[in-house]
């Protein structure tokens, strides 16, 4: 079965792991996403994954507690590592070989991020989960996802969301929202569509890295995206 992409970078929000909960990690959502990634892995696709940490910690909480921005961002990075460890274990329970690499060194838990080592893991068929964002404050995990995609020479960034693509306005609030089959980087910025933050979109544009936006909550959609079914919006030049 032919797939469109040999190597992908999958970006998942921390909130996606909450499932029906209001906080933390839902076991059903965790297993479902792991099964989707296993299906993609079984197709022979090389997979890198970046998680957000919003299900555990958000910057707004830091501001309310009087924590400075840099410290708050570091706390958020650690939250992503918790998600990465959980997902790594979920994948390995399904028999998928993995490696966890983090932008902040924590040798007892994960490898430090080394580009060539990450690429070697991918070539050997291991799913590489990237934690701790870029390792720097003031950068989102969206930016980390595009950065890692560029570094590992992924064919595409695939962003899993709660809706089936990019719309001209929030489809969960507006019944007349219009879905785009494809859209340019510039138009997403001009329209303020919040596909990813400005830094991430700019980096993707400058490196000609397409972004696919799809509904990760629908079981089997990742496999459909990889096989070329029209279940995602493509953001490109």
Put simply, whether the predicted model's pTM sits higher than 0.85 gets the answer: yes
Which class in CATH covers the domain with range 7-236? alpha beta
Q: What is the pLDDT along the chain (237 residues), one digit of tens a residue?
A: 799 999 999 999 999 999 888 899 999 999 999 999 999 999 999 999 999 999 998 766 677 788 999 999 999 999 999 999 999 999 999 999 999 999 999 999 999 999 999 999 999 999 999 999 999 999 999 999 999 999 999 999 999 998 999 999 989 899 999 999 999 999 999 999 989 999 999 999 999 999 999 999 999 999 999 999 999 999 998
**Segment 148-153 long-range contacts (CB within 8 Å, at least 24 positions apart):** 148/9, 148/48, 148/50, 148/118, 149/9, 149/48, 149/204, 149/209, 150/203, 150/207, 150/209, 151/115, 151/118, 152/7, 152/9, 152/48, 152/115, 152/118, 152/119, 152/122, 152/128, 153/7, 153/119
């Amino acid at each position: 079965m032919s797939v469109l992409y040999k190597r992908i970078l999958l970006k998942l929000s921390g909130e996606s792991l909450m499932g029906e909960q209001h906080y933390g990690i839902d076991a059903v959502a965790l297993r479902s996403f792991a099964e989707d990634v296993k299906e993609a892995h079984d197709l022979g696709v090389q997979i890198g994954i970046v998680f957000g940490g919003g299900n555990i910690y958000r910057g707004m909480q830091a501001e309310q507690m009087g924590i400075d921005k840099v410290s708050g961002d570091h706390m958020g990075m650690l939250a992503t590592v918790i998600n990465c460890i959980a997902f790594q274990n979920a994948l390995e329970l399904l028999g998928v070989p993995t490696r966890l690499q983090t932008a902040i060194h924590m040798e007892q838990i994960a490898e430090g991020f080394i580009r060539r080592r990450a690429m070697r893991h991918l070539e050997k068929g291991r799913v590489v989960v990237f934690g701790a964002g870029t390792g720097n404050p003031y950068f989102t995990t969206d930016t980390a996802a595009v950065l890692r995609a560029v570094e590992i020479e992924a064919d595409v960034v695939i962003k899993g969301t709660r809706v089936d693509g990019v719309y001209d306005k929030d489809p969960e609030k507006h019944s007349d929202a219009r879905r785009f089959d494809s859209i340019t980087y510039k138009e997403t910025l001009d329209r303020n569509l919040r596909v990813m933050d400005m830094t991430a979109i700019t980096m993707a544009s400058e490196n000609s890295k397409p972004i696919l936006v799809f509904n990760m909550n629908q079981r089997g959609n990742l496999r459909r995206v990889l096989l070329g079914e029209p279940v995602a919006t493509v953001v490109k030049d």
